[in-house]
Amino acid sequence: MTQPATNKSITYLNESPFEIPFPENALDEPDGLCAMGGDLSKTRLINMYQHGFFPWYSEPDPILWWHPKERCALFPTDFHLSRSLKKHIKKQTWTVKVNTSFSDVIQACSDSRADKEGTWISNDIKNAYSALHRSGVAHSIEVWEGDLLIGGLYGVCLGRVFFGESMFSRKENASKTALYALCQHANAANIHLIDCQVESDHLITLGATLIPRIKFCDLLDDYCTPPQLNGYLQLNSILPIQV
């Protein structure tokens, strides 16, 4: 449960990776900016995610931590499989794999962002999430056409929540297929909620919804304590797609 803010202001983090700002102190403009500084250590990242924060900044700026007033999130059973997407997937011979090429996925996400609006997925971000991946905390969902990586996404999985970070497509609907496969196997993976962070029209059309901050924090209290690792998302596993 979050505590009501008395004076909204940015928290400057100290050296302790266990320091957690109050989400309700996040600024209204820009929406969700709550803290600055700290580092991207494994311990801090896990603690911050467990409480609903995520880092989003561009170098050479300091690390900025966000906790929006309304959280864009997707309950896996709410994924909207449109007729056109279903038809598209049926025609493909794609394979969805887990954790076979994490570094390539995060690099592709970085390249994709750079082509559009400039990337926030810096070398520090890549190194930090690669360390989480080696620890079994961060995962990649990959769409392959033969031996060609054509789309995917990566994120952090703690308990029953998958915190999505970024996705990319090199062919039409490839990233949607990765998300659909994750939702389709969410029950087996014991994933109850996928955090999409910031609202977009694209995510809303796929079934995502907006959750008030306090409710989102309550869900994390239920789903992420303790922040257990997800054993279903194993290295080299394949997620069969059914449409």
Query: Residues 34, 66: contact at Cβ < 8 Å?
Result: yes
pLDDT value at residue 168 = 96
* Tally of CA atoms within 13 A in the half-sphere of 120 that contains its CB: 12
Q: Taking a C-beta distance cutoff of 8 angstroms, is the pair 179, 71 a contact? A: no
pLDDT in tens, 156-172: 999 999 999 999 999 99
Question: What is the model's pLDDT at position 1?
Answer: 46
Q: Does domain 11-68 have CATH number 3.30.70.3550?
A: yes
* Residue 171 pLDDT: 96
The CA angle 13-157-52, to the nearest 5 degrees, is 35
Given this model, what pLDDT does residue 233 score? 81
Amino acid 237: pLDDT: 75
- Summarised one tens digit per residue, pLDDT across range 17-45 is 999 999 999 999 999 999 999 999 999 99
What is the pTM for the complete model shown? Answer: 0.92
Q: Which CATH architecture does the domain made up of 72-238 adopt?
A: 3-Layer(aba) Sandwich (3.40)
Listed by start position, the domains of the chain span 11-68, 72-238
CA 157 to chain centre: 8
pLDDT of res. 60: 83
- Which residues of the chain carry a pLDDT beneath 50? 1
Q: What is the pLDDT of residues 126-142, one digit of tens each?
A: 999 999 999 999 999 99
Q: Which residues contact 142 (CB under 8 A, 6 or more apart)?
A: 96, 97, 98, 100, 101, 105, 149, 151, 152, 178
Task: Give the separation between CA 66 and CA 55, rounded to whole angstroms.
Answer: 6
